[in-house]
Amino acid sequence: MSKVFVLDTNKQTLNPIHPGRARLLLSQGKAAVFRQYPFTIILKKEVSNPVVQPLRVKIDPGAKTTGLAIVNDNTGEVVWVAELQHRGFQIRDALTSRRQLRRSRRNRKTRYRKPRFLNRTRPPSWLPPSLNSRVANILTWVKRLSALCQITAISQELVRFDTQKMQQADISGVGYQQGTLAGYEIREFLLEKWHRTCAYCSARGTKLEIEHIKPRSKGGSNRVSNLCLACTPCNQKKGNQDIKDFLSGKPNLLKRILSQAKRPLADTAVVNATRWSLYENLKKTGLPVEVGTGGRTKYNRTIRGLDKTHYWDAACVGASTPEQLNTTGLKPLLIAAKGHGTRQACRTDKWGFPQRYCSRNKVHKGFQTGDIVKAIVTKGKKVGTYVGRVATRASGSFNISARNGLVQGINHKYCKFMHKKDGYSYAN
């Protein structure tokens, strides 16, 4: 499993240690728990002249989930891994709902008012809140990890695939295109473009081959706009037929494949918009930032024999990836962004009318909504142990979002504080 972060009594970072050694220090009274997630201990004495090894934090940004990894470049050891789940789509839906409710309310209670969007300007680096939250989440965790261990460098997957090099082979030398890495760049682009399915039969979970929509024997090119993915049976069945002949009895499928093939590469700029914003913010930390492409990440992961996960992708980002990665027994920390609450004075129904009042007091019985607690219920209908984020009430009857679902009506007397609210939930 992942190593445990260690701080000395002055909160100076030390080398992460094995969980067994951390348990020994805790049982001997030489350390105390400093933070539950990620698990960190603090020593009860100062360490003079410690030899702290430099570490690198590696980031694989994603639309829904971002992979995080801490790697020791000198030894090749992967110290810590995690998956960070974003809430961008929730933010988008919440803003849409708020806009609809406001518009409905204004139509009911006020006369027509001129639109105000013409007298507002946005800064050059502005991002929609749903995208900006993803950048903020990653920056938050880079800062947290820097405070828990000796981070001296950052690696980030900046672009999913190098579209310029795929379009113009000699942009940086023919050797790049004819090398091993070139195939990974194109394959990664096609997997993203065709949603990892066969273009002809929509098969998933099978071996996919690169297929020329217009066969090369009939003048087709190797440009990515003429490539798609096909399973082995479909690829062999089509052979060197023209796609119009092969799909003559399926006009809808033919139209969909041709329109998908013509989708411009500019679409990838939308995916990469937040990556550039993240890159610029990472540079402001003052640490050297290495960048890499998704093709290189896949190449590094494949030759090291690692599974396709977000955290292993993060560990393989960039050219600095050690030849041998020590990944023995690692278990990722699953992090989900939950936000920091809401300022709504009341909840509304689907028509925008007030439904129930929200208390302005955030703390009840010593707990706050969003705290992670452990409740050991010893009697009643809900006997058991529950761990998760708590939703407090003034009555002292709390709800706990446990791993197995929402548990309602837990008395505050059974709850024991584990982790202070920080806008995230955790699972191992």
Last residue of a domain, one of 221, 238, 267: 267
Supply the pLDDT for residue 352: 73
Q: Give the pLDDT mean for 242-249.
A: 89
**Prediction pTM value:** 0.76
Could you tell me if residue 99 is inside a domain? no
pLDDT of 336 > 80? The answer is yes
* Alpha-carbon radius of gyration of the chain: 26
Q: What is the pLDDT of residues 78-126, one digit of tens each?
A: 999 999 999 988 898 889 888 887 777 777 766 666 767 777 788 888 8
DSSP symbol at 326: B
Using alpha carbons, select from 115, 122, 121, 158 the residue that is nearest to residue 138: 158
pLDDT of 173 > 70? The answer is no
| Cβ–Cβ under 8 Å, residues 186 and 208 | no
Distance between terminal CA atoms of the chain?
Answer: 10
User: How far, in Å, CA of 384 to CA of 410, rounded?
Assistant: 11
Using alpha carbons, select from 167, 170, 171, 173 the residue that is nearest to residue 189: 167
Q: Encoding tokens for residue 242? A: 């023209």
User: How far, in Å, CA of 45 to CA of 27, rounded?
Assistant: 15
Residues in Cβ contact with 316 at an 8 Å cutoff, skipping those fewer than 6 apart? 58, 297, 298, 300, 301, 304, 306, 325
DSSP 3-state helix, strand, coil percentages of the chain (rounded to 5)?
35, 25, 40
Q: Characterize the bridge pairing of strands 208-212 and 227-231.
A: antiparallel
Residue type, 354: P
pLDDT of 176 > 50? The answer is no
| Cβ–Cβ under 8 Å, residues 213 and 221 | no
Q: Within 13 Å and on the Cβ side, how many CA atoms surround 89?
A: 5
Supply the pLDDT for residue 293: 87
Last residue of a domain, one of 267, 295, 321: 267
User: How far, in Å, CA of 339 to CA of 260, rounded?
Assistant: 36
In terms of residue numbers, what domain contains 423?
Answer: 346-427
User: How far, in Å, CA of 270 to CA of 160, rounded?
Assistant: 11
Last residue of a domain, one of 267, 300, 316: 267
Collapsing DSSP to helix, strand or coil, 162 comes out as coil
Find tokens 């098969």 and name the residue: 203
Q: Encoding tokens for residue 177? A: 């295109």
Could you tell me if residue 9 is inside a domain? yes
| Cβ–Cβ under 8 Å, residues 319 and 295 | no
pLDDT of 286 > 80? The answer is yes
Give the angle 326-328-331 at the CA atoms, nearest 5°: 115
Where does the pLDDT of residue 175 fall: very low under 50, low under 70, confident under 90, or very high at 90 and above?
very low
User: How far, in Å, CA of 406 to CA of 397, rounded?
Assistant: 13
Could you tell me if residue 140 is inside a domain? no
| Cβ–Cβ under 8 Å, residues 132 and 122 | no
Q: Give the pLDDT mean for 383-406.
A: 91
Same domain, 260 and 351: no
**C-alpha distances in Å from residue 383, one per residue of 253, 302, 386:** 56, 47, 9
pLDDT of 185 > 80? The answer is no
Residues in Cβ contact with 303 at an 8 Å cutoff, skipping those fewer than 6 apart? none
Collapsing DSSP to helix, strand or coil, 97 comes out as helix
Residue type, 343: R
Write out the DSSP string of 245-260: HHTTT-HHHHHHHHHH
Could you tell me if residue 61 is inside a domain? no
User: What total of structural domains would you count in the chain?
Assistant: 3
Same domain, 172 and 259: yes
Q: Give the pLDDT mean for 188-204.
A: 86
Of 405 and 171, the one with more pLDDT: 405
Could you tell me if residue 62 is inside a domain? no
DSSP symbol at 420: -
Using alpha carbons, select from 256, 189, 173, 254 the residue that is nearest to residue 223: 189
Could you tell me if residue 303 is inside a domain? no
Could you tell me if residue 392 is inside a domain? yes
Q: Give the pLDDT mean for 410-426.
A: 93
Query: Is residue 147 classed exposed, middle or buried when 0-12, 13-18 and 19+ CB atoms within 10 A define those classes?
Result: middle
CATH value at residue 184? 1.10.30
| Cβ–Cβ under 8 Å, residues 375 and 400 | yes
| Cβ–Cβ under 8 Å, residues 203 and 232 | no
Could you tell me if residue 397 is inside a domain? yes
CATH value at residue 416? 2.30.30
